[in-house]
Amino acid sequence: MGWLIEIILRDYGPEDFSQVISVFKDSCQTLKKSNGGTHPDDAVDHLLKGTDMQILGRITGGAKLIVAEVKETGQIVGTGGVKRGKFDRLFGVACSVAHYVRSDFQKGKAGVSVGSLLRRESLARAAAAGCRKMYGFSTADAIGFHKKFGARFLPRYDRPYINGIVPSHYYEMELRPSIWNRLEPMPILFAFEGVVFWTRFLRFMLKGAPFSLLSKDERAVWLEIFKAIFLPPPKEGAKPKASG
């Protein structure tokens, strides 16, 4: 490989499926301790379980993927993505996902920094969408890489990655000045996810088949739980409404 390789950054298409999966699997191998990484080999193997379609769903999370393609050969050598769910749009932020580069193109080995190209592109897209901040999770191996682009790591929001096997480290990148940048999205996101989960669970219990199988007393208990969580408490001194 020479120093004149030209990389094209473009949106993912269905025809890229097999190559994208290949990039992910190859990139994961560099995380293994046996290959110089920091993670146990069996933990990394766990990441690759399931069908290729299941793997793609896990790594993208519904985000729009960006692929890095070698112009001369059409080979896809890296991926990146920007995810903006309802929560992200509400708070003016974006989540960086699926940042992977083939091992033989990592750290400028092929004469071009594919990872840097993808990172700049994802930041540019998030900024163009009006985001004030981008957040994401990094493996221990890539912390230094993200810091080069201004990432600020907040260990209190670290979480296990894929079924608690591989630890991931939370970071944020400021895209534009804003008084709202002091607002950290993760605690709000955790609370938001909790509300969504319990709302769906209670809706399922109250309207679905499981609720119809409960006794009258059991249904009354569930209704009281629902009221306690979602309805405001009555004001002190307020008189109960008369019935009839």
Residue 155, in any domain of the structure: no
Per cent of the chain over pLDDT 90 is 44
- Do the domain assignments include residue 149? no
- Domain hosting residue 209, numbered range: 189-230
* Domain presence at residue 138: no
Domain co-membership, 41 together with 122: yes
For residue 175, name the pLDDT band (cuts at 50, 70, 90). Answer: very high
Asked whether residue 114 falls in the same domain as residue 201, the answer is: no
Query: What integer pLDDT is reported at residue 36 of this predicted model?
Result: 87
Provide the mean pLDDT of the chain: 82
Using pLDDT thresholds of 50, 70 and 90, give the confidence band for residue 163.
very low
Same domain? For 110 and 208 the reply is no
Considering the domain architecture, whether residues 121 and 34 belong to the same structural domain is answered as: yes
Tell which of 116, 131, 146 closes a domain: 131
Does the pLDDT at position 244 exceed 50? no
> Is the pLDDT reported for residue 234 higher than 90?
no
* DSSP secondary structure, 205-225, as one string: HHHSHHHHTS-HHHHHHHHHH
Q: Kindly state whether residue 13 falls inside one of the protein's structural domains.
A: yes
Asked if 124 and 195 sit in the same domain, the reply is no
Same domain, 193 and 126: no
Upper half-sphere CA count for residue 115 (Cβ side, 13 Å):
20
* Contact in structure between 139 and 31 (CB atoms under 8 Å): yes
Is residue 195 in some structural domain?
yes
Is there a domain that residue 118 lies in?
A: yes
Cβ atoms within 10 Å, residue 192: 16
Q: Same structural domain for residues 122 and 193? A: no
One domain, residues 97 and 210? no
- Residues 102, 211 within the same domain: no
Q: How many separate domains does the chain show?
A: 2
Write down the pTM of the prediction: 0.74
